[in-house]
Structure 1
Amino acid sequence: MEHLERITVNPLIAHGKPCIRGMRWPVEVIMDMLGSGMLPGEIIEDHPELELNDIFACLNYAKLLVSGRTISEAA
């Protein structure tokens, strides 16, 4: 699955929640912004440290979780 290497888990960052590239941006926060109606471009404009591929990674990660698979199974 594309872009999943951007999703990192570190117990010292965001209480071990899956985050984007080791930053303090949990996947759930990005998904919440998308769910509230923000477009990817709006998210990036408001938070320039994020990249479009980060948002794609969050979507792919969410798809993986819904399918019942893990990152290791997707590799």
Structure 2
Amino acid sequence: MPNRVSIDHRVMGGVPCIKGTRIPVATIVGLLGQGYSVDEVLSEYPTLSRDDILAALRFAAAAVDERELPLRMTA
């Protein structure tokens, strides 16, 4: 599967976006985290595909996996 996430300093200041769009990965993951369904996200962003949404989730999971997480959450 081709990489659907692009990081380009000329697009949205280098924020990870779905390739060929200006839609940040964080926006997609945030909407899903707020309870939007995949179909609702696709309705809000009709240029996206289901594969784009899955790519955003894979990218976010890999990003979290690479970082050291705090042992305790702080408020």
- TM above 0.5, one fold? yes
The number of equivalent residue pairs is 67
Q: Which runs of 4+ in 1 moved over 2 A?
A: none
Q: State the partner residue of 2:66.
A: 68
Task: Identify, as 1 or 2, the structure richer in helix.
Answer: 1
Identity %: 34
User: Residues 36-64 of structure 1, C-alpha deviation per residue, up to 9 Å, x if partnerless?
Assistant: 11011111022211100010001100110
Normalised by the length of structure 2, the TM-score is 0.81
Larger radius of gyration: 2
Normalised by the length of structure 1, the TM-score is 0.81
Structure 1 residue 26 corresponds to structure 2 residue 24: yes
Query: Using CA pairs below 8 Å that are at least 6 residues apart, which structure has the higher relative contact order?
Result: 1
Q: Compute the RMSD of aligned alpha carbons.
A: 1.5
